[in-house]
Amino acid sequence: MNTSSNGQTAKTLVDCGNCGPDFASIRQMVTRHFKVHVIQTHGAEDTLEVLKNRKVDLVTVNRKLDRDYTDGLDVIRQIKSDPDTNAVPVMLVSNYEEHQQTATETGAVPGFGKLALTDPATRSLLEPFLGDA
């Protein structure tokens, strides 16, 4: 269990498929605004393994995975098609509205783009999953 310095339980965010600098930017943004532990994964296999072995409050998936440039929407489909993981909220990280729409049609919650990391609307999207419950 992750606890913050004030004794509250930290939430867990799994960030899948972002390169090191983008992962660092996302981690910095969410830890600045939320009590959250951030885990980096690189594809569907390691993401599903984390989801099956610990409580995760939110998964963010990059549109194109840094490791091999495969489609992050496939990771979302795999998470949502697995009965052990389909209840975990997933967001697509993409600046393109058409990809966001496809992700929500696949079962994801509305996500955000890297260009909107400092936008208050992005924090509002994250609040229901990473904020104090």
Which DSSP string do the residues of 52-68 spell out, in sequence order? HHS--SEEEEESB-TTT
Q: What pLDDT, on the 0 to 100 scale, is given for residue 132?
A: 86
Task: Give CA 18 to chain center in angstroms.
Answer: 10
Write down the domain spans for the chain: 11-130
- Mean pLDDT per 10-residue interval, the chain, length 133 residues: 57 97 97 97 97 97 96 98 97 97 98 96 97 80
Beta bridge partners of 15: 40, 60
Put simply, whether the predicted model's pTM sits higher than 0.85 gets the answer yes
| Domain 11-130 CATH class label | alpha beta
